[in-house]
């Protein structure tokens, strides 16, 4: 499998996942032109995209879905709870391209895909685990808190894309964020802080996980260095050396991330 985060943050989210016979995107929150541009940077023809998996209906996850799918004819997979609103936001999509899923696993060619509920202030939000039977990657962003059930889903993966949205102190001191917005971000239906993410990673140590990509970083209330250092500090406190046990990477908003090739 090949995985690359094309962009991650409040201005647009999109991740590329490639198997032997299948190429899919998780979300398409960047513009069609930007998705085309970033796919070209990793030598992928946009016309090769089979399907787009939608996590939820917020614009930073679906902004480019309509235009991209109208041009390239790929299918859109979304949970049954969000399709009514999604159809309004991306109108003009052929019915044959619309695929509804529920909480059961489904397949796209050689990929088995499971979804799991995330607590977020949307109609419905899910994370995904994608497996070819030998290797697995999981993605969980846009969640206010992380449960043991979610941890169990994630630690069965080789690579995990996990939200590390904000530093609590930096958020609370931000004069440009009103109190209500701060409370929304900090709530159980908001976004994961660096500390919450670091503590979740500790619970994955010693499991199957070989790499963590910290994602959906706030450009106003976080920095890549701060997110990375928070995780490193927690790992050190728990006497875990990430350089030996776990690769920690940071997804960027404005540039394509590293390409990960996961071997069996």
Q: What does the alpha-carbon distance between residue 262 and residue 1 come to, in Å, rounded to a whole number?
A: 5
pLDDT tens digits for 162-195? Answer: 999 999 999 999 999 999 999 999 999 999 999 9
Residue 53's CB is within 10 A of a number of other CB atoms, namely 27
> What integer pLDDT is reported at residue 206 of this predicted model?
79
Domains and CATH numbers, the chain: 2-261 (3.60.15.10)
User: pTM for the whole thing?
Assistant: 0.95
Cite the DSSP H helix spans in 65-175.
65-72, 83-89, 148-154, 168-172
Check residue 226 and report its DSSP letter: H
Q: What does the alpha-carbon distance between residue 258 and residue 49 come to, in Å, rounded to a whole number?
A: 19
Q: Is the pLDDT of residue 245 over 80?
A: no
pLDDT tens digits for 126-166? Answer: 999 999 999 999 999 999 999 999 999 999 999 999 999 99
pLDDT tens digits for 32-67? Answer: 999 999 999 999 999 999 999 999 999 999 999 999
The H-or-E segment that residue 170 falls in is helix 168-172
């Amino acid at each position: 499998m090949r995985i690359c985060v094309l962009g991650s943050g409040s201005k647009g989210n999109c991740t590329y996942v490639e198997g032997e016979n299948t190429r899919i995107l998780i979300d398409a929150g960047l513009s069609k032109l930007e998705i085309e541009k970033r796919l070209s940077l990793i030598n992928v023809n946009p016309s090769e995209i089979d399907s787009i998996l939608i996590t939820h209906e917020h614009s930073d996850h679906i902004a480019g879905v309509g235009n991209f799918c109208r041009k390239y004819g790929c299918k859109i997979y979304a949970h049954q709870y969000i399709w009514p609103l999604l159809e309004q936001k991306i109108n003009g999509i052929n019915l044959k391209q619309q695929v509804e899923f529920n909480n059961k696993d489904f397949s796209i060619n050689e990929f088995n895909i499971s979804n799991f509920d995330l607590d977020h202030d949307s109609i419905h939000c899910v994370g995904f685990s994608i497996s070819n039977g030998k290797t697995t990657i999981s993605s969980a962003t846009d969640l206010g808190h992380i449960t043991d059930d979610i941890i169990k889903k994630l630690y069965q993966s080789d690579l995990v894309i996990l939200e590390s949205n904000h530093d609590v102190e930096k958020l609370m001191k931000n004069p440009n964020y009103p109190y209500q917005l701060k409370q929304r971000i900090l709530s159980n239906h908001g976004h994961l802080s660096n500390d919450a993410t670091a503590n979740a990673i500790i619970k994955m140590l010693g499991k199957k996980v070989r790499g963590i990509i910290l994602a959906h970083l706030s450009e106003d209330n976080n920095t890549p260095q701060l997110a990375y250092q928070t995780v490193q500090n927690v790992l050190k406190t728990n006497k875990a050396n990430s350089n030996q046990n776990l690769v920690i990477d940071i997804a960027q908003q404005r540039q394509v991330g590293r390409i990960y090739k996961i071997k069996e």
